[in-house]
Amino acid sequence: MNLDLLAPLLLPLASWPVARWVAPRLSPRLGSWLLTGSALVLAVGSTATLAVLAAAGLAQLPLVGELGDFSAVAFRGADAVNLPLAIVSGLALVAAATALTRTAIQYVRWHRKVHAELDLHTREAGIVLLPGEEPVAFAVAGNGGRIAVSSGMLAVLEPQERRALLAHERAHLRLRHHVFAAVVTVATTVNPVLRPLGSAARFSLERWADEAAADRVGDRKLVATAVAKAALAGNHRPSLALAATGGPVPQRVRALLTAPSAGTRRRPLAAIAVAVVLGACAWSAVCTLDAATDLHSGIETAQAACLVVPQGADLVPAHPALGHHHRECAER
């Protein structure tokens, strides 16, 4: 093991500057793909590194060596890992697995509850009409995708604004934003350090749906008005659903009221930002792969120390530092 292991663990700390500086300079579609993919790669890299460290620590235990048919003492000499660090990594890995399991159970229960409730209400033209004065509008995946709008939300919007709002929700389903949201949720659950990146990715998803709705209705100001009025009316909605009232609404409205061509000067900066983020993700992936390869090589070296040799033959160690470990394996 070497210091390269620190890269996958430390790179997620860059999520705050990425979310603060890089995300605003990207188009919503590019930002959604880049931020979501980056969160996934960095989460996998950090989690895999924790797994490698924990496995390297376990491999130093004699019982594990016996089960794996290798010398734990030889592995300790050939691929030394700080045992306290391995223990901390194992505990962090257990905590991440527990959090992910809890989040998955929570989502499944929420998903079933929402669809069970939507089944009780009238569906017209693919829209589920919810009774009540509480302004609610959201899109949820499953059963072909559903859009739910309450009577209270329809009452606060003009007919054209309703069309813009529904176009936003349909964009979420058509562009499969629930998949992006699920990936971000998994990444930020297993590695909470990535939460700024996750928040930026969710904001990009809402901006992407805003732009798609503006293209569909042909009026950016109309979409901005619909989003603003829906947000002011009330933000009460299922916490895991995609909705037009999600994210920092003032920034979304400001972006809609700004001509798309205003960002052309940022293209060189955006290209540099994308290159930096992709480079960081590649660095994390390579370091994680190298760590796994080193772990595998260390175990192979320890297994070589336990090779069965003919009786009376000279014991030739496979590694200069492992000569005395052949006797340990021969006594098994």
Task: Tell me the three state secondary structure of residue 128.
Answer: strand
Q: Give the pLDDT of the chain (332 residues) as one tens digit per residue.
A: 556 678 888 889 888 888 888 888 888 999 999 999 999 999 998 998 888 888 877 777 666 666 656 655 555 555 556 778 888 888 999 999 999 999 999 999 998 998 888 888 878 777 899 888 888 888 898 877 889 998 889 999 999 999 999 999 999 999 999 999 999 999 999 999 999 999 999 999 999 999 999 999 999 999 999 999 888 886 555 557 777 777 788 888 898 988 765 444 456 666 777 787 888 888 888 887 877 776 666 666 666 666 544 444 444 444 443 444 444 454 44
pLDDT of 284 reads 82
> Within its chain, how far is the Cα of 62 from the centroid?
36
Which class for 6: exposed (0-12), middle (13-18), buried (19 or more C-beta within 10 A)?
Answer: exposed
pLDDT of 276 reads 77
pLDDT of 135 reads 86
pLDDT of 323 reads 44
Task: Tell me the three state secondary structure of residue 226.
Answer: helix
The DSSP symbol for 129 reads E
pLDDT of 241 reads 75
